[in-house]
Amino acid sequence: MQNYKTVWANCLKIIKDNLGPENEQVFKTWFEPIVPVQLEGNVLTIRVPSQFFYEWLEEHFLDLLKRTIRLQLGPNGMLKYSILMDTSIAETPIVTNLPSSSRQATVNRPKDVPLIIHGENEHEIANPFVIPGLQKLKINSQLNGNYTLENFVEGDCNRLARSAGYAVAENPGRTSFNPLLLHGGVGLGKTHLAHAIGIKTREKHPDKTVLYVTSEQFLQQYVEAVKNKNTNDFIHFYEMIDFLILDDIQFWATKGIHTQEAFFHIFNYLHQKNRQIIITSDKAPSDLGTLEPRLLSRLKWGLAADLGTPDVETRLAILKQKLANDGIEMPEDVIEYIAYNINTNVRELEGALISLIAQSSLNHRQITIDLAKQMIDKFVKSTTREITIDYIQKVVCDYFKLPLESIQSTTRKREIVQARQLTMYFAKKLTKSSLAMIGLQCGNKDHATVLHACKTVSNLNETDKQFHYWVDELEKKLKD
């Protein structure tokens, strides 16, 4: 059995010999950076750093490569390319997806040429950008396998969007959710859910061509197509897609009038053929007024589902799921601390979790509530921390060893009344919430009750030693 590394090392020797000493620089530039990836039968896969690199090899060294591979792997030897897309070239338009005229030349190459283009292989490297196969429909869907529906925790904040997404995956293009517009603030899961719906669709309908593209990529591709005078290819390419996901359409709000027009035509075509379209936006349709009016009106045809900020239970569930997925254990109180304190969006929630894990492993410290407090404090300060009413309730209840629900109850038991009043007092003092809002969240009381509670606590704080001690302790805990 030959090993891919040895095979490639032998190829390099042959190539180097063929190029001769006068071409040493050529060899260094174009062959040394190539990484062999695997050998399957008579097919050797090599990874090249970029699309440009691949095209250069094709253009200048195809013959040499062909001869070399055959010498090594026999007359049926083949070479597959895998193109790595690192962040620095992530911005490059994926015009490689387009059946452009230059690519057509590749298609027409005689059968025996030892070149096939790598199809999708999501497990091979972390972020491969792989050229689609030459069969027109075998395109790289650009779906991220980690963003599944199973990993997308359900909560009140996303129920509608999630179930609409599920319905769409079951029956793409055949529900009234076409287009499905997912909107919501940054970090609330639009991109994740969009990928998840795409992945589910492919599971349920393997025959469908699913494509995920960001609005920015789409715009770059379009601009590139105009430059290369192949906008027709561009449009045809998109017209082949059965399930198109366009992420972050708000990106076009201030630019790309022509891109929007091109998309408008593609949209109409796909919609008419009952192909599914999913669009995400961090603004609601009503705030996308700067988009091309005809396009904007199309967005309103289907369903607009919004993703909201997750409540504390959902935040807890998300954290627990991430930890379980990563196989990391963390004390319950630490998880709760994070969930109660980071309430902006899921991305920050994950960020906090990751920093905490990093902190503990880099400094060889155990993850304890103290470490979490230190870290979250720094983390939250930089993102303007706000103490929430939820969190105050939790701290007060923990302190008096009362169940969390007791604050919401109607009981007149003295200790519970006291805990409720303290919660209201701190909510008034430490949050920006109105009296009405505080009342609502503390057992559905009116604003007068909240005001009364605040006065009672202030009075007792001045006159009752025990009570003063409690207020002091609680305040420390809350600000800590």
What CA–CA distance (Å, rounded) separates 438 from 425?
9
List phi, psi (to 5°) of 303. Answer: -115, 135
Nearest Cα neighbor of 186 from 283, 310, 313, 287 is 283
Nearest Cα neighbor of 214 from 294, 280, 146, 288 is 280
User: x-or-dash pattern for ligand ADP, window 109-148, by CB under 6 A?
Assistant: ----------------------------------------
Rank residues 96 and 158 by Cβ distance to ligand ADP and give the closer one: 158
What ranges in 74-158 are assigned the alpha helix state H? 101-107
Residue pair 424/447 in contact by the 8 Å Cβ criterion: no
Instruction: Select from Mg ion, ligand ADP, none the partner in contact with residue 189, using the beta carbon and a kind-dependent cut-off of 5 to 8 Å.
Output: ligand ADP
Q: Closest approach of Cβ 384 to ligand ADP, in Å? A: 19
Rank residues 193 and 395 by Cβ distance to ligand ADP and give the closer one: 193
Q: Closest approach of Cβ 145 to ligand ADP, in Å? A: 12
345 binding Mg ion? (CB under 5 A): no
If you ran DSSP here, which 8-state letter would residue 304 be given?
E
Q: Closest approach of Cβ 150 to ligand ADP, in Å? A: 10
Residue pair 461/467 in contact by the 8 Å Cβ criterion: yes
What CA–CA distance (Å, rounded) separates 461 from 52?
72
Residue type, 475: E
User: x-or-dash pattern for Mg ion, window 158-197, by CB under 5 A?
Assistant: --------------------------------xx------
> Roughly what angle, to the nearest 10 degrees, separates helices 389-399 and 414-430?
140
What CA–CA distance (Å, rounded) separates 454 from 34?
70
Instruction: Select from ligand ADP, Mg ion, none the partner in contact with residue 315, using the beta carbon and a kind-dependent cut-off of 5 to 8 Å.
Output: none
What CA–CA distance (Å, rounded) separates 363 from 424?
39
Q: Closest approach of Cβ 309 to ligand ADP, in Å? A: 10
Rank residues 153 and 219 by Cβ distance to ligand ADP and give the closer one: 153
List phi, psi (to 5°) of 145. Answer: -60, -15
140 binding Mg ion? (CB under 5 A): no
| Residue selected from 70, 271, 347, 373 as contacting ligand ADP according to rule CB under 6 A | 347
Q: Closest approach of Cβ 350 to ligand ADP, in Å? A: 5
**Which 300-329 residues touch ligand ADP, going by CB under 6 A?**
318
Q: Which residues contact 364 (CB under 8 A, 6 or more apart)?
A: none
Q: Which residues contact 446 (CB under 8 A, 6 or more apart)?
A: 436, 439
Neighbours of 70 (CB within 10 A): 16
- Residue 212: strand pairing partners: 245
What CA–CA distance (Å, rounded) separates 230 from 225?
5
Candidates 52-60, 87-95, 181-189, 360-368: pick the segment binding ligand ADP (CB under 6 A).
181-189
What tokens does 345 get?
Answer: 């969006």
Rank residues 214 and 406 by Cβ distance to ligand ADP and give the closer one: 214
Q: Closest approach of Cβ 325 to ligand ADP, in Å? A: 10
The 3-state DSSP class for residue 182 equals strand
Residue pair 290/302 in contact by the 8 Å Cβ criterion: no
Candidates 71-79, 103-111, 182-190, 202-210: pick the segment binding ligand ADP (CB under 6 A).
182-190
**Which 77-136 residues touch Mg ion, going by CB under 5 A?**
none
350 binding ligand ADP? (CB under 6 A): yes
Can you list the positions of beta strands (E) in 159-222? 180-183, 210-214
190 binding ligand ADP? (CB under 6 A): yes
Q: Closest approach of Cβ 187 to ligand ADP, in Å? A: 5
- Residue 281: strand pairing partners: 183
HSE (side-chain half, CA atoms, 13 Å) at 205? 18
Candidates 31-39, 74-82, 149-157, 413-421: pick the segment binding ligand ADP (CB under 6 A).
149-157
188 binding ligand ADP? (CB under 6 A): yes
If you ran DSSP here, which 8-state letter would residue 266 be given?
H
| Residue selected from 36, 165, 179, 189 as contacting ligand ADP according to rule CB under 6 A | 189
Instruction: Select from ligand ADP, Mg ion, none the partner in contact with residue 124, using the beta carbon and a kind-dependent cut-off of 5 to 8 Å.
Output: none
251 binding ligand ADP? (CB under 6 A): no
192 binding ligand ADP? (CB under 6 A): yes
Q: Closest approach of Cβ 169 to ligand ADP, in Å? A: 16
| Residue selected from 51, 72, 158, 276 as contacting ligand ADP according to rule CB under 6 A | 158
Candidates 27-35, 212-220, 344-352, 467-475: pick the segment binding ligand ADP (CB under 6 A).
344-352
Neighbours of 26 (CB within 10 A): 15
353 binding ligand ADP? (CB under 6 A): no
Instruction: Select from ligand ADP, Mg ion, none the partner in contact with residue 394, using the beta carbon and a kind-dependent cut-off of 5 to 8 Å.
Output: none
Burial class (CB in 10 A: 0-12, 13-18, 19+), 23: middle
Q: How many residues bind ligand ADP (CB under 6 A)?
A: 16
**Which residues in this chain contact Mg ion in the complex, by CB under 5 A?**
190-191
**Which residues in this chain contact ligand ADP in the complex, by CB under 6 A?**
151-153, 158, 184, 186-192, 318, 346-347, 350
